[in-house]
Chain A
Amino acid sequence: MFGYANSLKFEKLSKALIGILAVASAILFPLGLYYGLLGSPDDYQQSQTVRIMYVHVPAAWTALFCYMSMAGAGLMHIIWRHTVAGLYIRAACGLGAGFTAICLITGSLWGAKMWGTWWVWDARLTSVLILFFLYLGIIALKDAFDNPERGTTACAWLSVIGAVNIPIIKFSVDWWNTLHQPASLTSPSKMLNPAMTNEFIIPLLIMAAAYMTLFGCLVLIRTRTEIRLRKEMVKNMRSVQHGLV
């Protein structure tokens, strides 16, 4: 990991990985869509709306994975001054917010017809909503400083603080949900968590792999962009210095 603090090594590795991940993603998406939309049965309770699960649940997983990776990168940036790790955080936060948005909107559509309302306060959707706000906070903090380096470090700290909070948030929301649950057979939580058999799990996992490979590919491209931007900034600063001296 620490060899890649040197951006040259990172750039070599990322070039190879981007290609592989892009191809993998291009294969996995059609595969997942086939199995999700055609190759799997509908649910006896929810009929065809259960197919929304195949875009909703993997988005939640990817959004959470993205945040955890940002927290890990944050630790590397804070403790070991790993430059590329800091730039990774800048790159990943926008993507994470996007996956969170996908999860929220598809979740809303999933619950809408069944419940007649456009938002369901179930445990997963509420936790993901809070995660969305965490992402927005990081995106806002990123560029709120005059010196971009300070913004990167601040985001690193916020990612770590947020990650420590995430288990607490998940736990408290789950707990809150059980408190306020009307004890009915068709509660929101039961609906948005259908019984899982193999026929449901396989498309789910394929779509999850599709999302993750896409995320990996895009985040590497974005990190390369951030590295390039930082190099340009440093070059500008140096030329100003030389001009003055």
Chain B
Amino acid sequence: MSIVLGMIAHDIKSDMKGSAQYISITMFYVLAITLFPLAIGPETNMLRLMAPGLLVVCAVLSSLMAQERMFKEDLRDGTLEMLTFSNCPYALIIFAKIIAHWILTGLPASIIAPVLALMLDTSIEQALIAAPVIATLCLILSLLGAMLAALSLKARKGTVLLALVALPLYIPMLIFSTSILDMSATVGINNAIAPSLFLLSILAVLLPMSPIVSSILVKWTIEE
């Protein structure tokens, strides 16, 4: 357990030390959302209707941009390979990496999401619900994306390929997250149980499955 925490702390620290790449992902989220009122016009009725979709889609795109960085650095400097020799099960190590990745990308995005929601003229209730929804969504995307990132780790044109492969698989999460935000505006959060349960059940399945599958895939990639 302490190994996992140690790994998470290490990953976070090493990113903060570096060129603060992950902050830029949150900035991308903010900028992407800002583009829409500028492009479509500031009419608040329209923005309020589009807000759930915008918040979720931009979160998906930001997550996609960050996804490739999950393993690339450590592959390049050989850390991934060295970690296979540790006593800790490799799946736990990958799990730590995924959580660290989420803390650096999904969590800041979910903290800023209510602010962005208010900018899109949603109700306060909807804005507050945006935070946990985006947080859960980004965790799911980090988990699913880890498997796909491991798969395309040594492919040519990795980033674009990852986007092409990942986006169809992200669509259910997108549908459910948007529905939660949408329903909380129309029928109130208490009646938005169905999509919340779907989202949480996807999370429950991915939480164990992704580290295990990702560790198998990373090992397969390393053993070239």
Residues of A within 8 A of B (CB): 130-131, 133-134, 136-137, 140-141, 144-147, 150, 153-154, 157-158, 161-162, 165, 168-169, 171-173, 175-176, 179
Contacts and interface: CB of A to CB of B under 8 A. Distances in A.
Contacts of B224: 147, 150
Interface of B: 147-148, 151-152, 154-157, 161, 164-165, 167-169, 171-172, 175-176, 179, 182, 194-195, 198, 202, 213, 217, 220, 224
A140 B179 contact: no
Given A137-B161, A154-B151, 14 more contacts: A133-B167, A133-B168, A141-B152, A141-B161, A141-B165, A158-B151, A158-B165, A162-B169, A168-B202, A169-B171, A169-B172, A175-B179, A175-B195, A176-B179
A174 to B, nearest CB: 10
A156 to B, nearest CB: 10
A157 B164 contact: no
A109 B46 CA distance: 31
B169 A140 contact: no
**Chain A interface, >50% SS class:** helix
A161 B169 contact: yes
Contacts of B148: 158, 161
A132 B202 CA distance: 23
Nearest to B173: A172
Contacts of B176: 172
Contacts of B165: 137, 140-141, 158
A140 B161 contact: yes
Nearest to B150: A157
A145 B172 CA distance: 29
A172 B171 contact: yes
Nearest to A138: B165
Contacts of B198: 172, 175
Contacts of A172: 171-172, 175-176, 198
A172 B195 CA distance: 9
Contacts of B161: 137, 140-141, 144
Contacts of A176: 175, 179
B168 A154 contact: no
Given A140-B164, A141-B151, A153 B157 contact: no
24 contacts: A130-B168, A134-B169, A136-B164, A137-B161, A140-B161, A141-B161, A144-B161, A145-B156, A147-B224, A150-B154, A153-B220, A154-B152, A154-B155, A158-B148, A161-B213, A165-B172, A168-B172, A168-B202, A169-B169, A169-B172, A171-B172, A172-B175, A175-B198, A179-B182
